[in-house]
Amino acid sequence: MEVREPVQQMTTDRQIIEEEVVKAKTEELEHKPNIDILKHTSEQNWQKEIAQFIKSKEIKQRSGEGVDELEDCDSFGEINFIGFGHGSKSAPYIRVDKNTNAEILWDLLINYWHMPRPKVLISVTGGAQDFFFKDRLKNLFNKGLYKAAVSTGGWIVTGGTGVGVMKKVGEAIKEESKGTTNDSHRHVVALGIATWGIISNNTVMEKSSKNGDLHEGFWPAEYVEKELKLSGKQTSLDSNHTHFILVDHGKVDYGADIGLRANLEQFINTKQTKEGKEKSAIPVVLVVVQGGVGTIETVYKSLIPPQDNSSGDSKVESIPVVIVEGSGKAADAIAEALRKTKQVDSTGIRDILEGMDIIRDVVDPKRINQTKFQECLGWFEQMMSSPYREMITVFRMQEENFKDIDRAILHGLLQAKSLTDNVRTQLNLALNWNRCDIAREEIITAERRTKWQEASLEGNMMTALIDNRPDFVELFLQHVIHLDKFLTIERLNSLYQKVIYSKQSIDGRTSTIDILRTRLESYQLKGITRGDECRFLLRRVGKVIQELTFHEYDRYYKEEKFVLKEQDKQDTESVPMTTSTNCKEDEFECPDQHLFLWAVLLNRREMAKIFWQRLTIGNIGSALFAGRILKALSRHAEIEEELTLYYDLTNHADEFEDLAIGVMDNCYEDDKKMSKLALVRKLTDWGGTTCFSIAYAAEQMKFIEHDCCQTKLQRVWKGNVQIHSYKQWIAYVFAAIFPFIIPFMTFLTKDYQVEYQEEENKESKKVETYKELSRWDKLKNVLRWKSNYKPGKGSEIRRVGGRPDDVTLWEGMGYYYKAPMSKFFFNIFLYVVLLFLFSWFILTDLRPASEENSPSVVEWIVIAWVATLIIEEFRQIHSKDPKSAFYRVLSWASDAWNIFDFLMFLFFIISIILRFTLSTEKFYRARIFYCVTLMLFYFRLLHMGFVQKDIGPKIIMIFKMLKDLMYFLVILIIFILSFGIASEAILYPNMEPDIRVFFKSIYKPYWQLYGELFLEEIEGLTDNATCYEDPRYVERCPETEQYPWVAPVLTAIYMLISNILLINLLIAMFSFTFQKVQEKSETIWRFYRYELINEYYDRPALAPPLIIFNHMYRFCKWSYMKYELKSELNKEKQEQKKADVIKKHETKMSHCLRVRLDDRLEDYLNGFEKKHMENYFIKKNQEYAKSWESTVTSSGDRIDKMSNDMEEMRELIGVSGKQETTQVKPPTGEQRQSIHSTTPNDEMATQIGQLTTKVSQMENKMDEMVNQNGQLTTKVAQIENKMDKILEMLEKSLSLKTESEC
């Protein structure tokens, strides 16, 4: 009875729990949709498949405790953990005999339990009892182990029970999985291999029912925490593990799982990580935490497999081991043995081991027999000898090399024999771990040069690119990969395909994959099936780039070679691991450029910066081009309300703009003339555009504000005319009225000529040979020729005269009238004349066409004049950068002034049509349109103010405030309509139905804003007698007799809201806009000034209306060129002829905004920019090293190190204090050697005193570091306060200046 009562009570509790579970499942099934029923059916089929597999493979288990007989396995299914602190959680399990074949278990795990094939197997072994784990070591262990499993997709294998190191692993998985939001990171495979006999309440997992001869298993087996009896050797399963293999040897004792676990791990070590062209063995590593004699045996069998002691032919290899020092017992003993036998010959290892007390503490001869003790010493001796000791990695918190345990695990994996000679597999592990430091220090090293040079690492490079590993990409490019041979069309196509069409983005919220995918789908090619889209992917990518750059550049990847062939399409999935693909010579002239574009489109900052630094096609223009693409992508993100992505793309674009400015700074300091030439040269690799046009299109104001840009624009603005003094200004102004002054002016004629001072023996290097060189060879030759390749002296000052070097009279007049500044002033002068004539005929002689002498001569002149202006607008549209007509119009319309011109000319055309078609009675309509058009023509004069430094920012403020006014009017109209209609309906009820009643309703509230209150009408102060005498009330008198107070109250409320609230809101908006523009008025003005200079640079020399002669000349010239090109029968000759004509007219002059350079000068500029790009980064690193941020950072690192050392000291003191108080643990080996005459307590007290002194010293040092850090912080705060005061003074002075101006 005494035995049955607890069993009966346990059965009663179990029945209650089962009833609750059944009830909950019934309620759940009642509310589940049909799809869950299908899922339930599939689960039943899965369960039957497992049962059939177990029967077919004849998996056995012991028939009972203490019995050696075997029986068919009937204990399998799914464990449902209840009451373990995380709700209900299930895990598959099976009970097997200790001699079960590992291959059968592998088949069960992969094909029936559907566990993902591991890339790494991390086996954790150690103490089977609870032990003390230092807090810092525990945190490092948890994070490192979880990171190692997640980053590699590996399995964690433990003993599976809820005690000792197994419990620590389960807690690590549970704690670390809470801190991640990624679902894939939550599902870490933790396989528990435990001994069946020690599992408490294991009866709930056995003796399942039978269906004929087939055991069905338990689905689920309810494993309830309340039913467990943890006594003696009985322990529970750990609920944080995901799968369980329970090993049965017929005894209630530990150790049954050791042999089967070792066999399974060795078998997994022989399996392959991937099924495909490239395979590699699944690496296995053993992590040792604490432990006892069983742990030492496990380490021994891992390092020295059975075939090393026998003549067997099995290919089982040694498994590397990672020791977590500081966890205690076996782990510390192995680490100490390694340290003491480091420089000892193999014959003396045994003597040292026998004298180590720490080994005797773990392998106590008093608790085990002497034979077992000697066997353990033999294990230690073999493990400490070469080559096995090299396969043991010790993790110490104090070492700089292994700060993270995951790094120690990876280091241990690399010591495996199967990986030692396989560089590609080692790099794959490092890539999965994202540990470039290990790849740099242990794989890609000088000692192993022959191995990694012989290996084909293109697959690793593809993996690094796709997985966004910039450190690895930089490492491969420095030592392993040659992009000229690596990048092929197939690989580039695969890079886009595998990233854009991947199921899961690795870049998170800052990924542009969705935007690119949407844009690519909008460019579906006609006649292409869905399956063939990947073949034309590069073509569609080229169209997306063209769209993002507003079709201003030639489309990339438009040639036929960028369309993959059918066999290439079939192999595209295996491209990342393909190592035999060879790059053709003509596929990519500059492969860095295409990978740079790929990284920019995907918003991968570090990757884009790596390829940008490698570019040899102009770093300034490349950075600006990247900024333009990123800003275009940010606009798409803003439309989709992806604000995080929008801000990230904007910041990324600003970073590239800053890089361009930094390189330009260094170039401008070295050579101003070449820096200016770099701004206006045509970038042939970026669509033939210039740095100026890219920066303006991307609104990169800070770059255009740069001194180099502004001095270049000023030079372009003045043309070839030299103006540096007041006398020259006076001569320039009067030359417009008196042309005979032009011969007395000075001009700049010679610019950017290149002198080749090569020796006679170098004459064999011809231009044809030079053109055949690769881009890198060109750059090397240019740098080699640098001493003999010098730019000219620059611009030379010339006068009009008869000497050979002088300027002729016609050249001087051409220089004067073709200067953009001259064109501007002549256009202003003639435009003012046009306005005068326009105003004159509107005021004096605008009559219907039916009358005599109408239109007048002045009006006909104005009409012809405006016609030339309209023709000029069409010429501007035609000269825009975009290649297609549609995008030229869009580019032209992107300028607000062009839209204004369109409205102005539209009104003018309507005015002309009306003045010729309307009769005399309706002619007033034509007059109204003419007057409105004249107003627009006068407003157009504001555009001329952009050239002036003080007027330009004010005009910008006006336009910004007009935008604010538009938003304000939307709010104001709501109040005007609400109060206007309400008051009108009260004063004049039941009005006659007419659309004009709405206009009448808003009449009074609108004018009330300006002070016209209409109080007499609203308050009813007029009677019928006076009402009808007043001409304002001829239609109807207001009715205010029934409710005379309502209208005045509504008016008062309306005046309160409109005149006080809304008007002050408008003033605040204007003030904010004024302040915002005023702060960067110089930057904004300089930015818009470029467009004005560019417009007048492109304009013909003559101003309207004389501009018609320039148009006629250009049209004739264009027609002749077309005729000349058509005369060429060969298409290639036509293209060459066209290029020669274009190049002939694009001369290298100081006043040019677009210059096409010869190959040598262009490559010289590329090398010039690249050299100063490198200097820029050197200076940047030096400045950072000297900055206070670097000082504070280094101080913080030192403080962290001191804090860690202090924490370690405190832990040592705590452990020592425990030892002194309890006297349970014997002293260590070193303490025993030092103890002679003193007692253990005295010696321990002395050690505690020494440790306390060290801690106090370290605390003092830490206080000093904190004080130094505080002083730095105080200095920074003082500097910030001074800067704030300076800014306040500047703001006050600006406000006083503004008030004085007002």
> What separation in angstroms does the CA of 1248 have from each of 50, 1223, 1227, 1241, 1261?
60, 15, 14, 10, 20
Q: Are 360 and 374 in contact (CB under 8 A)?
A: no
pLDDT greater than 60 at residue 485: yes
Q: Which residue has the tokens 């490019």?
A: 477
- Give 763-804 pLDDT, tens digit per residue: 334 334 444 445 545 544 544 444 444 444 445 677 776 666
Q: What is the pLDDT of residue 1143?
A: 54
Q: What is the pLDDT of residue 904?
A: 95
pTM of this prediction?
0.78
Say whether 457 sits in a helix, a strand or coil.
Answer: coil
Distance CA 500, CA 517 (A): 6
Containing H/E element for 1250? Answer: helix 1240-1301
Q: 229 or 694: which carries more pLDDT confidence?
A: 694
- Give 1077-1104 pLDDT, tens digit per residue: 888 888 888 898 898 899 899 888 888 8
Q: Are 298 and 123 in contact (CB under 8 A)?
A: no
Burial class for 615, CB neighbours closer than 10 Å (0-12, 13-18, 19+):
buried
Q: Can you say how many angstroms the Cα of residue 621 is from the centroid of all Cα atoms in its chain?
A: 21
**Mean pLDDT, all residues of the chain:** 78
For the CA atoms of 1121, 1126, 1129, 1135, the dihedral, rounded to the nearest 10 degrees, stands at: 50
- Give 1229-1272 pLDDT, tens digit per residue: 444 444 343 344 455 556 556 666 665 666 666 666 656 656 66
Q: 493 or 304: which carries more pLDDT confidence?
A: 493
Q: Are 42 and 49 in contact (CB under 8 A)?
A: no
- Give 1135-1183 pLDDT, tens digit per residue: 665 556 555 555 444 457 888 888 888 888 999 999 999 999 998 888 8
> What separation in angstroms does the CA of 909 have from each of 110, 553, 904?
79, 35, 9
Query: Where is mean pLDDT largest: 11-15, 255-259, 319-323, 347-351?
Result: 319-323
- Give 307-364 pLDDT, tens digit per residue: 544 334 445 678 899 998 888 888 889 998 888 888 888 778 888 888 888 888 888 7
Q: Are 79 and 217 in contact (CB under 8 A)?
A: no
State which amino acid sits at residue 1262: M
Q: What is the pLDDT of residue 1293?
A: 60
Give me 506's structure tokens.
Answer: 């690795």
For range 999-1013, the mean pLDDT: 85
- Give 408-452 pLDDT, tens digit per residue: 888 888 877 667 777 888 888 888 888 888 888 888 887 777 777
For range 134-148, the mean pLDDT: 80
Q: Can you say how many angstroms the Cα of residue 578 is from the centroid of all Cα atoms in its chain?
A: 27
Q: Are 550 and 882 in contact (CB under 8 A)?
A: yes
- Going by C-beta distance under 8 Å and a sequence separation of 6 or more, which residues neighbour residue 1257? none
Distance CA 423, CA 648 (A): 37
Q: How confident is the model at residue 244 (pLDDT cuts 50, 70, 90)?
A: very high
Q: 2 or 111: which carries more pLDDT confidence?
A: 111
Give me 1274's structure tokens.
Answer: 């105080």
Q: Can you say how many angstroms the Cα of residue 7 is from the centroid of all Cα atoms in its chain?
A: 62
Distance CA 1123, CA 930 (A): 43
Give me 653's structure tokens.
Answer: 């674009």
Q: Which residue has the tokens 């990672």?
A: 322
Q: Which stretches within 757-895 are classed as H helix? A: 767-771, 775-784, 809-818, 820-844, 857-878, 885-893
Q: How confident is the model at residue 632 (pLDDT cuts 50, 70, 90)?
A: very high
Looking only at the bridges linking them, the beta strands covering 789-791 and 797-799 are: unpaired
Give me 480's structure tokens.
Answer: 């392993």
Give me 1037's structure tokens.
Answer: 């008198």
Q: Are 621 and 628 in contact (CB under 8 A)?
A: no
Q: What is the pLDDT of residue 774?
A: 53
Residues, the chain = 1302
- Going by C-beta distance under 8 Å and a sequence separation of 6 or more, which residues neighbour residue 354? 377
pLDDT above 90 covers a percentage of the chain that reads 23
Q: What is the pLDDT of residue 423?
A: 82
pLDDT above 70 covers a percentage of the chain that reads 73
Provide the b/e sequence for 791-803 (b: ≥16 CB within 10 Å): beeebeebebeee
Distance CA 1037, CA 618 (A): 78
Q: What is the pLDDT of residue 988?
A: 79
Q: What are phi and psi of 758, to 5 degrees?
A: -95, 150
Q: Which stretches within 879-922 are classed as H helix? A: 885-893, 896-917
Q: What is the pLDDT of residue 928?
A: 94
Distance CA 280, CA 286 (A): 19
Say whether 155 sits in a helix, a strand or coil.
Answer: strand
For range 273-292, the mean pLDDT: 75
Q: What is the pLDDT of residue 297?
A: 85
- Taking Cα atoms as reference points, which of 1013, 1008, 1054, 1017 lies closest to residue 1039? 1017
Weakest mean pLDDT among 664-673, 828-837, 989-998, 1047-1056: 989-998
Helical axes 489-500 vs 591-601, angle rounded to 10°: 10
pLDDT greater than 60 at residue 29: no
Distance CA 981, CA 991 (A): 12
pLDDT greater than 90 at residue 756: no
Q: How confident is the model at residue 14 (pLDDT cuts 50, 70, 90)?
A: very low
Q: Are 576 and 463 in contact (CB under 8 A)?
A: yes
Q: How confident is the model at residue 1040 (pLDDT cuts 50, 70, 90)?
A: low
Annotate 1171-1203 with DSSP letters as a single string. Answer: HHHHHHHHHHHHHHHHSHHHHHHHHHHHHHHHH
Query: Where is mean pLDDT largest: 276-285, 327-336, 1218-1227?
Result: 327-336
Query: Where is mean pLDDT largest: 28-37, 389-398, 1241-1250?
Result: 389-398
To 5 degrees, how large is the angle CA 741–CA 747–CA 749? 145
- Taking Cα atoms as reference points, which of 449, 421, 604 lies closest to residue 511? 604
Q: Which residue has the tokens 């498994």?
A: 319
Q: How confident is the model at residue 386 (pLDDT cuts 50, 70, 90)?
A: confident
Provide the b/e sequence for 357-376 (b: ≥16 CB within 10 Å): bbbbbbbeeeeeeeeebebb
Say whether 1293 sits in a helix, a strand or coil.
Answer: helix
- Going by C-beta distance under 8 Å and a sequence separation of 6 or more, which residues neighbour residue 696? 704, 1087, 1090, 1091, 1094
Distance CA 124, CA 185 (A): 20
- Taking Cα atoms as reference points, which of 713, 797, 795 lies closest to residue 751? 795
Distance CA 192, CA 209 (A): 25
Q: Are 274 and 573 in contact (CB under 8 A)?
A: no
Provide the b/e sequence for 314-348 (b: ≥16 CB within 10 Å): eebbbbbbbbbbbbbbbbbbbbbbbebbeeeeeee
Specify whether the backbone of 121 is left (phi greater than 0), alpha (psi in -120 to 50) or beta: beta
- Taking Cα atoms as reference points, which of 727, 766, 769 lies closest to residue 744? 727
- Give 796-841 pLDDT, tens digit per residue: 677 776 666 677 888 888 888 888 999 999 999 999 999 999 999 9
Burial class for 997, CB neighbours closer than 10 Å (0-12, 13-18, 19+):
middle
Distance CA 410, CA 1182 (A): 34
Quote the DSSP letter at residue 118.
P
